[in-house]
Amino acid sequence: MNAKRYNSIDLWKLIMAFCVVALHTIKLEQSKLIIINELYDSFVNMAVPFFFIASGFLLAKKLQLPLHKEENIDIIKNYLIRIVKLYLIWNIIYLPLAIIGFILDKSTPLMSIYLYLRGLFLLGEQYNSWPLWYLLSTIYALLFIIFLLKRKQSLKTITIIGAILFLLGIGLTYISDYTGQEVIIINVIKRILSLTISSGRIFSGMFYIPMGMMLSKKSLKSSYCWILLLAGYIINVLITQPHISSILISLSSIGLFGIVSSISFKDSIVYPFIRKMSTVIYFIHMYVWSIYYKLIYNHKTFGLDSFFVTAIISSMIAVVYLLLKKIYKSKVT
């Protein structure tokens, strides 16, 4: 079993957690400098793909070849159970905000139940709990991986199928956003999407997690990683088409992760701590932001103040929570 620590990944998880906070609390559409918007969007939008790839990478480090061995599938199943528990816990934590959302939208009790179940099983989000879709996508991705491994499919095959589903998801998102000439089949698909998954992003994990597993077993050359990062990032800045952007972000994210995972930092207790911090910040920040804008502005407000307040308070909550947890564990043991 490989016990190597990937401290650089831990550091970048924290950086990317703050990028997710920025993604949700800062909007630059009002900026007259379009290039600034694109530079910002192209960077922060690599955050969730980075988390997906890291999950696959670190999971695969626990597995032995060939991957379809029963003990490997059991490890993935245990990880799946952990993610399901985490997803349910955070949905319970965010339930009060979901209820507030239904009240604000004046949804009937029956409609609220439907919307909640749809959000729970198909979208991965409720009112102001946007980050949870990452967990739901991970759950479906792990089920997808287990299904194919049980049929003795190679990791390469799983990644290729995942890439096809990822592209399908981009196509569904394009249809969901389509506002052009009326086409019956597009209208039918849009209607189905509006009642179910809304867009194709739920398929993201089915590509990124196997890709992370691939990188775990066979790393890319540093030069290739830099080409993917720079080409994907620069072209994405220059091309503002959002659906093509998803493909370019996938390339830059793979390149970035390849570079980060190849960097070695000396072991320190700091890295495991900031890794845990990044998890708490990722999941709690929407609560912090919701309370902040309600108290200060009484409506959803985006901006640098929202980002800094949310990031700082979320970090403080993470530090206090982790220290209290450590104290509690030391007393119990």
Cα distance between residue 91 and residue 85, in whole Å? 10
pLDDT score at 329: 86
Q: State both tokens at 299.
A: 């409506």
**Residue at 102 is within a domain:** yes
Angle at 122 between CA 121 and CA 125, to 5 degrees: 85
pLDDT score at 30: 53
* pLDDT tens string 246-255: 999 999 999 9
Q: For the chain, what is the domain count?
A: 1
**Residue at 235 is within a domain:** no
* pLDDT tens string 74-108: 999 999 999 999 999 999 999 999 999 999 999 99
User: For 89, which DSSP code?
Assistant: H
**Residue at 144 is within a domain:** yes
Is the pLDDT reported for residue 2 higher than 90? no
Percent of the chain with pLDDT over 70: 97
**Residue at 288 is within a domain:** no
| Alpha-carbon separation of residue 239 from 35, 126, 177, 191, 226 (angstroms) | 10, 31, 18, 29, 19
| Predicted structure pTM score | 0.94
Range of the domain at 85: 51-221
**Residue at 35 is within a domain:** no
Is the pLDDT reported for residue 181 higher than 90? no
For 293, other C-beta atoms within 10 Å of its C-beta total: 21
Cα distance between residue 9 and residue 272, in whole Å? 10
Q: State both tokens at 183.
A: 């086409």
pLDDT score at 180: 86
pLDDT score at 1: 42
Kindly state the average pLDDT of the residues 307-319: 98
**Residue at 170 is within a domain:** yes
Is the pLDDT reported for residue 242 higher than 90? no
Residue pair 129/97 in contact (Cβ under 8 Å)? The answer is: yes
pLDDT score at 3: 63
Q: How confident is the model at residue 29 (pLDDT cuts 50, 70, 90)?
A: low
pLDDT score at 34: 74
Cα distance between residue 89 and residue 121, in whole Å? 14
* pLDDT tens string 136-168: 999 999 999 999 999 999 999 999 999 999 999
